[in-house]
Amino acid sequence: MSDADAPALLSDDEVRALDAHWRAANYLAVGQIYLLSNPLLTEPLRPEHVKPRLLGHWGTSPGLNLVHTHLNRVIQARDLDAICVWGPGHGGPAVVANSWLEGSYTETYPDITRDAEGMGKLFKQFSFPGGVPSHVAPETPGSIHEGGELGYALSHAYGAAFDNPDLVVACVIGDGEAETGPLAASWHGNKFLDPVNDGAVLPILHLNGYKIANPTVLARLAEGELDDLLRGYGYDPLHVTGDDPLQVHQAMAAAMDTALDRIAAFQHAARDKGATERPRWPMIVLRTPKGWTGPATVDGLPVEGTWRAHQVPLPEVRTNPAHLRQLEEWLQSYRPQELFDTGGHPREQVLSAVPGGTRRLGSNPHTNGGLLLRELPMPDLDRFAVPVDKPGATLHEPTRVLGQFLEQIMVNTAERRDFRLVGPDETASNRLQAVYDATGKAWQARTLPVDEHLDPHGRVMEILSEHTCQGWLEGYLLTGRHGLFSCYEAFVHIVDSMVNQHIKWLRTTRQLSWRRPIASLNYLLTSHVWRQDHNGFSHQDPGFIDHILNKSPEAVRVYLPPDANTLLSTADHVLRSKDYVNVIVAGKQPCFDWLDMDGARAHCARGAGIWAWAGTEDGTREPDVVLACAGDVPTLEILAAAQLLRRHLPQLSVRVVNVVDLARLLPKDEHPHGMPDPEYDALFTHDKPVIFAYHGYPWLIHRLAYRRTNHSELHVRGYKEIGTTTTPFDMVVRNDLDRYRLVMDVIDRVPGLAVSAAPVRQMMQDARQRHHDWIRVQGTDLPEVADWAWQR
Amino acid sequence: MSDADAPALLSDDEVRALDAHWRAANYLAVGQIYLLSNPLLTEPLRPEHVKPRLLGHWGTSPGLNLVHTHLNRVIQARDLDAICVWGPGHGGPAVVANSWLEGSYTETYPDITRDAEGMGKLFKQFSFPGGVPSHVAPETPGSIHEGGELGYALSHAYGAAFDNPDLVVACVIGDGEAETGPLAASWHGNKFLDPVNDGAVLPILHLNGYKIANPTVLARLAEGELDDLLRGYGYDPLHVTGDDPLQVHQAMAAAMDTALDRIAAFQHAARDKGATERPRWPMIVLRTPKGWTGPATVDGLPVEGTWRAHQVPLPEVRTNPAHLRQLEEWLQSYRPQELFDTGGHPREQVLSAVPGGTRRLGSNPHTNGGLLLRELPMPDLDRFAVPVDKPGATLHEPTRVLGQFLEQIMVNTAERRDFRLVGPDETASNRLQAVYDATGKAWQARTLPVDEHLDPHGRVMEILSEHTCQGWLEGYLLTGRHGLFSCYEAFVHIVDSMVNQHIKWLRTTRQLSWRRPIASLNYLLTSHVWRQDHNGFSHQDPGFIDHILNKSPEAVRVYLPPDANTLLSTADHVLRSKDYVNVIVAGKQPCFDWLDMDGARAHCARGAGIWAWAGTEDGTREPDVVLACAGDVPTLEILAAAQLLRRHLPQLSVRVVNVVDLARLLPKDEHPHGMPDPEYDALFTHDKPVIFAYHGYPWLIHRLAYRRTNHSELHVRGYKEIGTTTTPFDMVVRNDLDRYRLVMDVIDRVPGLAVSAAPVRQMMQDARQRHHDWIRVQGTDLPEVADWAWQR
């Protein structure tokens, strides 16, 4: 079934103008893939006009050009505030072509003028060393989405639409991308889109039928099955099908008008008439040939409409005269002389439906979110600080304390609506539920009387899909807003690859002066490796930190606040920051309060420092040993070890160092937060044993510190991938991170203690044995551990 | 709409027997969560009978128990060969309970007898230190799937069904899991399931309505929308809805019979009548209350049928007498005295529908795949080796050579059908297409005349979802077959979290003597970081190696074969191995052949070794410098650097070391492949500079080698997250891995060369400058680089 047979909507002139624009964009896309010079074909095409390395992808381009052409029309006709997320891979040539046609490209890159010379540069730079990528990318004006790794277009689109009530976010989804898990899940974004406070998302599923080498699943479904699927996802599909351009233009225009009329009607009903039923939002299914208008056959094999059109349809243009002639015919088939004047400027007809100013898709400020970003109205931290008269005397659940701070941010942004909290069904499990006093959980599906905190206008986003959470937040941040993603530590690995791409985006945009800084992507990782009492081995993985620290140092930060006030200070810092990916790992279980608010601020500002109150050094010389820690559980064990040492080996001079900002351990030239060597040496000494209790995989600390003076004396304890369902203390014992083991490490490493401290070492062995005996019978931690408290 | 109103299928006796079994399983599930002793309630329940730490999840258990009870019935009635993938999180108590009832548990763990004493142990061990996890886990008899991280149940089920024509794989999908991306994508597995050669998958979508703290999306869809969705996914849903056990038993029995009758009919049509149309396979939508039969209300709040039933519905049993009383009433509501005799044995009625022997879900050998595993019929490597008379004289595309080897494995397994190749639409892009001469790409959707290599019976699996590929392969391996996953290097990060879980599974099963070894999960990562000429920065990420090497060393292996023959040897090795995750990183671009087949075998067996033919040392003393390399591109650059050194600094004694097996760099006590220190020192010297050109992030080499004698002289070059769309040589230049930079590194590090070799250093600088000047204009690599060849 196709709606393409509807009566003609456009006049012949309108169709001709749209077609001219489409042809111009197609011409420019082919030119980018092939031409090194002779951009207007002012002379017969010769091999030396063609790039020596043919890179890029033609297949998706004509479809994207069609969508862009028709979005132009409706934006202009309706004065629409619209952006488009271009999902298909390798769509760069198309979107760049359109951006150049509308003038956005030249305004962004003045060197690429809208004339023959600029066209020549535009062609040459594509997939050329130092030029622009074949994907819609950070370099592409009007883009908030890289079409490189597939799967995230639709969640980005929803993220962009949230809290942008006047915005329409079109989103082209390739039928290749539609096979991915993240994309398949993200259709359900419509159950979370508020017709009152959010904008609209218009998905355009482009069925060109093929991926790199295979047909696509959705393009080959039985009759009606695809409609069932899309209706099951909650949409009302409008079909545009064909390979006759003039007919498709009419059908596409009609579908766009129908979709936008329905969107307007749903928004009117919700905003002005109090309708509360979830709308069945429209979407468009565009079924046109892959590589449409390209070579029908090459070397006797079908190309247009097949997977062979995916990349470079004519691969041997420089060496095969038949290919060269075919390329020239292909380019001439667009009749460039009708489209561009002799100076290479697009003719008036081509531009007749192009909108102006910031209505252009390549110039809409929502796609350069930093332009719209406002500083978050941050509450006064002291209001939420827990009082700490002395270290280790009281307990708080750090994330619960943070929840109150986040609640106030929600209150402060109630009108502005530019802050959201996302998480996979874990906001309460992660003990942030105070936010529900300020706002509810977004929910547009059915509700029952027993439900709690569901709110059609809520700004807490929960769906059991880390991919969707991440995609929503990325789309929200990229369009100039703020947010926080709370997640179980182990399962944030689910978005490893997504965060890679976001960091790559940030790294690239940092080098583009026209891209304004956006709010950082902030993770709160809790329910962490050491406290999986309920869940055991499958929920234990601290490796996201390692993953993040492999990435561009200018864009990544990792924090391990050891208590409630340091968590508050860290959260305050990251929520004010821009253009980073910040990872905070913090506990939700009751945790001793070590620092008061001022102390926490000062400690977090340094990122790593001596806790003099916990050590025994007298300041006259380097200590005998440094006990270092990073993370809440390691900090607890280090302090317990320090207390044991003070009691049993009082003559030992012990320094305790806590590290909040992990990158401080890196050399200064490897990370902006890296410590200069003298500062590192002053903390960790030149040659004394350093026993470092670390939250994650111990070798990460070595990887960060291997260049340091005292690296040979650095001994790290951490998670060794030994896990099970057990008690908190048993977990640290199994991984040799427990206080008793740490004391034994000190005795084993500090010269001269082997004999004198042998009785103490035996005492520690005995304590570990007591633990072993106790836990197997009782199933709980030893009372001496469970009831432990810091004493000075 | 519910099919639950169908006429009664079961006699009253049958219903009573099924209900008795279900009640028994429910009783045992509650007992596991709560009871430390008094398992049969032979005395009034007192606080000390209750575990001190209440862990576990009740919510999903009654639904899983219902499914298990009814699977028992149809397995017994039809002598069905069936297994079940239990998707919902925290389903451990249910599946363990059923396994104990049917006797599988006691046969697997003889200590847990099927009597009162065993029941007591069964209860105590659950979520107890050193006991069993709350998830269906490796420890659970009959499981091939950990219910910890959600999303993979259905792809595991399809993987299990492939090439198991007589097997029915039931798969319970929780409505929480159904929100994840991987699960949403995996419904489309039915477009790849061959009714002739594959078994059947019976999805059972369990809508209990809630996740941890929220309603689920699918449970709250508008009327008809869910059916549209499931039909759109290609299934024919059968509904079972209710909260009246007796009515639900009848409905469930009817739905199971209908589903199995239809499956049998489809298989008969395809196998015996030549039907080729893709069947609309049945599935069951089971809608029952969360925590069904548990406490209706606790402390005045509704619990049964809400998210509050998710975990431990009565949390204060040890301290709150009302909770204790409520627990006792709950347990007694199952009338345990009717279910178990005074010795704790299940009564006859309870077991009347339980199948016997290997038909029991907890004893089916498909769930302990190693029992069924046969060695792969490996071809003779020499038939596929490329001839190498001297190093570096010829070029081959390593993965294309491997493709021919894989083709022969496909031929050798044509009848056995126990080997599959999976990949996200990249088999041909990764140049393995020779396999199509032996088998096609599995495809059950529509075909067109233009299509190539699609085959309803094919064993190459391609879908643009790394998650689905990984899930299919895991399911296939876990049921005792073999396979290989080929993937773009950067995008394998998409399955980071899935492979974590698989490695954790392997690590655990290695400690369970009853679990037999399964074939390794083998990755071929190609289209790697250095050769993304088309794709640029978004496709550049070598970090999967780092991710893998964080995991349990007994289960992970990483190989970087530098040419075609070493790739063959490595592939041969990993395809014979068991219980590992093997990662091979290899190129698909033309690459010099360095080693002949015998040399490749010997080199790969060592894992790392001196390439004497490439160096200049005379054997009388340690060389002046070691040039080490791992990976195809770094090997090329190191050899080019060695050649430059030989020409320009002939007096320098140079050793070239190539590393194939990365774990060899680790100390012996940190990885089974780790080199003893003397061996490492013999390769890398005690104090000479080592210039190490590495495929990935350079700090990984430091993390592996930081304990070695000569670590302070180890200088690593690798990928520094500097990427773009450019030429192959420009990529290595930008990351300081190029031959010229490596020669400069040698000059900078070898004592005494600073002055004498200054002219050579300048020559290298000039060569780099020549590259810079050339590439900006020409867009290709310098001829001296593009045409370089090894010369001795």
Any CB–CB contact under 8 A between B565 and chain A? no
What mean pLDDT is reported for chain B? 96
pLDDT at A1: 38
pLDDT of residue B4: 44
Name every chain A residue with its beta carbon within 8 A of the beta carbon of B426.
212-213
Look at residue B402 in the predicted model and tell me its pLDDT. Answer: 98
Quick check: A541 and B132 CB within 8 A?
no
- What is the rounded CA–CA span in Å between residue B494 and residue B473? 15
Residue A7: the pLDDT is 65
Residue A792: which pLDDT band, with cuts at 50, 70 and 90?
confident
What pLDDT sits at residue A56?
Answer: 86
B506 three-state secondary structure: helix
pLDDT of residue B680: 98
Tens digits of per-residue pLDDT, B457-495? 999 999 999 999 999 999 999 999 999 999 999 999 999
Are A148 and B496 inside 8 Å of each other by CB? no
* Closest chain A C-alpha to B171 CA, distance in angstroms: 18
Identify the closest residue of chain B to A180 by CA–CA distance: B465
In a 3-state reduction of DSSP, which class is residue A467? helix
Average pLDDT for residues A471-475, to the nearest whole number?
98
How far are the Cα atoms of A32, A143, A146, A149, A365 from residue A509, in angstroms, in the given order?
22, 11, 12, 17, 15
Distances in Å between the Cα of B598 and the Cα atoms of B389, B564, B569, B764 are 12, 13, 9, 36
**Highest mean pLDDT pick, A535-539, A786-790, B126-130:** A786-790
Whether the predicted pLDDT of A3 surpasses 80 = no
Cβ-nearest to A232 among B148, B229, B780: B229
Amino acid A90: pLDDT: 87
Q: Which two tokens stand for residue A371?
A: 């332009």
Spatial neighbors of B399 by CB under 8 A, at least 6 apart, are B430, B431, B432, B486, B524, B526, B567, B586, B587, B588
Interface with chain B: mutation pick from A493, A503, A733, A780, highest number of B CBs within 10 Å: A493
Distance from CA of B14 to the nearest CA of A (A): 35
Q: Which residues of A touch B711 (CB under 8 A)?
A: 706
Least confident range from A7-11, A63-67, A324-328, A690-694: namely A7-11
Q: Which fold has domain A608-786?
A: Rossmann fold (3.40.50)
CATH T-level assignment (fold) for domain A381-591: Rossmann fold (3.40.50)
The predicted structure's pLDDT at residue A484:
98
Q: Hey, are the CB atoms on A232 and B231 less than 8 Å from each other? A: yes
% chain B with pLDDT above 90: 93
Give backbone dihedrals phi and psi of A344, rounded to 5 degrees, phi first. Answer: 90, 0
pLDDT (average), residues B278-303: 96
Ordered by start, the domain boundaries in chain B are 3-366, 381-591, 608-786
What mean pLDDT is predicted for residues B436-454? 96
Q: Which element (helix H / strand E) includes B160?
A: helix B153-161
Cβ contacts of B177 on chain A, cutoff 8 Å: 464
Q: Does B133 touch chain A (CB under 8 A)?
A: yes
Within 10 angstroms of residue B296's Cβ, the number of other Cβ atoms is 16
In the three-class reduction of DSSP (H, G, I as helix; E, B as strand; rest coil), residue A399 is classed as helix
Q: How far apart are CA A121 and CA B37, in angstroms?
A: 80
- Cβ pair B183:A181 closer than 8 A: yes
* Length of chain A in terms of residues written: 792
**Is any Cβ of chain B less than 8 angstroms from the Cβ of A411?**
no
Q: B3-366 adopts what CATH topology?
A: Rossmann fold (3.40.50)
Q: Is the dihedral of CA A250, A253, A255, A258 positive or negative?
A: negative
Which amino acid is it at B767?
Answer: A
Query: Between A445, A465, A779, which is nearest B129 by CB?
Result: A779
Give percent of chain A above pLDDT 90: 93
Nearest to A10 by CA among A61, A74, A66: A74
Binding-face residues of A in 522-561 toward B, CB within 8 A: 533-539, 541, 543, 546-547, 550-552
Q: What is the pLDDT of residues A290-318, one digit of tens each?
A: 999 999 999 999 999 999 998 999 999 99
Q: Each residue of A256-284: pLDDT tens digit?
A: 999 999 999 999 999 999 999 999 999 99
Option in A426, A493, A703 nearest B702 (CB) = A703
How close A497 gets to chain B, by Cα (Å)? Answer: 5
| pLDDT higher than threshold 50 for residue B594 | yes
Whether residue B541 and residue A500 make contact (CB cut-off 8 A), yes or no, is yes
Q: What is the pLDDT of residues B313-349, one digit of tens each?
A: 999 999 999 999 999 999 999 999 999 999 999 999 9
Buried b (16+ CB within 10 A) or exposed e, A171-195: bbbbbbbbbbbbbbbbbbbbbbbbb
Cα(A147)–Cα(A142) distance, integer angstroms: 13
For the segment B20-30, the average pLDDT, to the nearest whole number, is 98
Token output for B551: 């995991």
B296 lies within 8 A of chain A by CB: no
In the prediction, which pLDDT does A4 show?
44
Cβ within 8 Å, pair B450-A302: yes
The H or E element containing residue B497 is helix B496-509
Q: Considering only CB atoms, which chain B residues are within 8 Å of A465?
A: 179-181
E strand or H helix at A240: strand A236-241
CB contacts of B179 in chain A (<8 Å) are 185, 188, 463-465, 468
CB-nearest partner of B775 from A129, A231, A491: A129
Is a pLDDT exceeding 50 seen at residue A417? yes
Look up tokens 């019929």; give the residue. Answer: B377
What are the pLDDT digits (tens) for B670-694?
999 999 999 999 999 999 999 999 9
Q: For A333, what's the count of Cα atoms within 13 Å in the CB-facing half-sphere?
A: 14
* CA distance, residue A493 to nearest chain B CA (Å): 5
**Percent of chain A, pLDDT > 70?**
99
What is the Cα–Cα distance from B711 to B715, expressed in whole angstroms?
9
CB A462 within 8 A of CB A454: no
Three-state SS string across B756-787, please? HCHHHHHHHHHHHHHHHHHHHHHCCCCHHHHC
Chain B, residues 298-327, CB within 8 A of chain A, namely 302, 305-306, 311
Q: HSE on the CB side for B722, CA within 13 Å? A: 15
Smallest Cβ distance to B129: which of A311, A711, A776?
Answer: A776
The pLDDT assigned to A532 comes to 86
Which of B226, B496, B508 has its CB closest to that of A497? B496
Residue A2's pLDDT is 44
Start-to-end CA span in chain B (Å): 79
B95, B103, B254 from B361: Cα distances, Å: 9, 10, 20
Residues B68/B98, Cβ–Cβ less than 8 Å: yes
Q: Which of A703, A698, A702, A704 is nearest to A713 (CA)?
A: A702
- Angle formed by the axes of helices A245-272 and A12-34, nearest 10°: 110
Beta strand B297-298 with B301-302 is: antiparallel
Confidence of residue B536 (pLDDT cuts 50, 70, 90): confident
Q: Which residues of A touch B425 (CB under 8 A)?
A: 176, 211-214
Cα separation of A466 and B501, whole Å?
16
Interface contact A273, partner B, CB < 8 A? no
CA A121 remoteness from chain centre: 32
The secondary structure of B747-758 as a DSSP string is HHHSTTHHHHTH
To the nearest whole Å, the CA of A225 is away from the closest chain B CA by: 5
pLDDT at site B55: 87
Q: What is the pLDDT of residue B725?
A: 87
Instruction: Determine how many CB atoms are found less than 10 A away from the CB of residue B188.
Output: 24
State the Cα–Cα distance between residues B149 and B501, nearest whole angstrom: 8
DSSP strand pairing (A654-659 vs A608-610): antiparallel
Which of A51, A136, A139, A180 is the best mutation test for B, with the most CBs of B within 10 A?
A: A180
DSSP string for residues in B335-388:
-HHHHB-TTSPBPTTTTTT---GGGSTTT-GGGSGGGT-----PPPGGGTPPP-
Contacts (Cβ under 8 Å, ≥6 apart) of A731: A530, A531, A532, A723
Task: Kindly tell me the sign of the dihedral angle through the C-alpha atoms of B590, B593, B596, B597.
Answer: negative
Q: Does B349 reach chain A within 8 Å, measured CB to CB?
A: no
Whether A436 and A499 have beta carbons less than 8 Å apart is answered as no
CB-CB neighbors (< 8 A) of A186 in chain B: 181
**pLDDT class of A89 with cuts at 50, 70, 90:** confident
Q: Determine, for residues B137 and A776 on separate chains, whether the beta-carbon distance falls below 8 Å.
A: no
Burial of B273 (0-12, 13-18, 19+ CB in 10 A): exposed
